[in-house]
């Protein structure tokens, strides 16, 4: 099995991307990675992140790249970006929002289009969207309430999510209460 074949499965699972840490965990050496780069079998996408060019690009690639760029396993899409991903309101984020653990410092170049938030998330607050780690819908709405997303967008998100059955009635009621408390403050 060639170095490229070893990376292929991971790349397919991650929208065409592999990380340096992931590649070395699969047994590839830095010289092997450098050789794949030199031969055009890998492309540098960001600091510590590479793309296998044979994997077809999709509209979800920038989101996976953002999560991998963070360089930490707990990174996930969150806030406005997660709300947009779940398609429950007309929000249109100008940056990709990520959440990492408090105290996690990201010192990589290339994060100009990202908003990095620090929050401790419980396992039940995490899920997947398009095979990308993403906070759950109730968590995203709660984050957006706390971060100041306009009320009309949050009302739209809560109503649509409730109609779709994506929010349990008690969760919906709690989110509506939190939104009202924010607006009354």
Domain ranges of the chain: 3-51, 61-184
- Residues written for the chain: 185
Neighbours of 87 (CB within 10 A): 12
CA distance 125 to 142: 11
CA distance 154 to 168: 16
CA 128, 70, 123, 180 dihedral sign is negative
User: Per the confidence metrics, is the pTM higher than 0.85?
Assistant: yes
Note whether 69 and 7 are within 8 A (CB).
Answer: no
Residue 172's region, left for phi above 0, alpha for psi from -120 to 50, else beta, is: alpha
Q: What is the pLDDT along the chain (185 residues), one digit of tens a residue?
A: 677 777 888 899 999 999 999 999 988 889 989 999 999 999 999 989 999 999 999 999 999 999 999 999 999 999 999 999 999 999 999 999 999 999 888 888 788 899 999 999 999 999 999 999 999 999 999 999 999 999 999 999 999 999 999 999 999 999 999 999 999 98
Note whether 68 and 39 are within 8 A (CB).
Answer: no
């Amino acid at each position: 099995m060639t170095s490229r074949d070893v990376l292929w499965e991971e790349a397919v699972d991650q929208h065409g991307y592999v990380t340096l840490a992931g590649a070395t965990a699969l047994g590839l050496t830095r010289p092997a990675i450098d050789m794949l780069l030199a031969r055009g079998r890998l492309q540098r996408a960001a600091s510590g992140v590479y793309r296998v060019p044979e994997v077809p690009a999709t509209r979800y690639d920038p989101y996976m790249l953002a999560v991998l760029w963070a360089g930490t396993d707990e990174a996930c899409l969150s806030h406005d970006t997660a709300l947009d991903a779940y398609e429950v309101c007309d929000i249109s984020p100008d940056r990709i929002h990520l959440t990492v653990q408090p105290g996690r410092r990201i010192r990589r170049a290339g994060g100009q289009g990202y908003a990095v938030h620090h929050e401790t998330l419980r396992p039940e607050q995490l899920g997947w969207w398009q095979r990308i780690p993403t906070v759950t819908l109730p968590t995203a709405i709660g984050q957006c309430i706390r971060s100041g997303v306009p009320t009309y967008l949050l009302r739209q998100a809560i109503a649509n999510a409730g109609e779709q059955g994506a929010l349990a009635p008690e969760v919906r009621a709690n989110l509506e209460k939190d939104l009202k408390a924010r607006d009354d403050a």
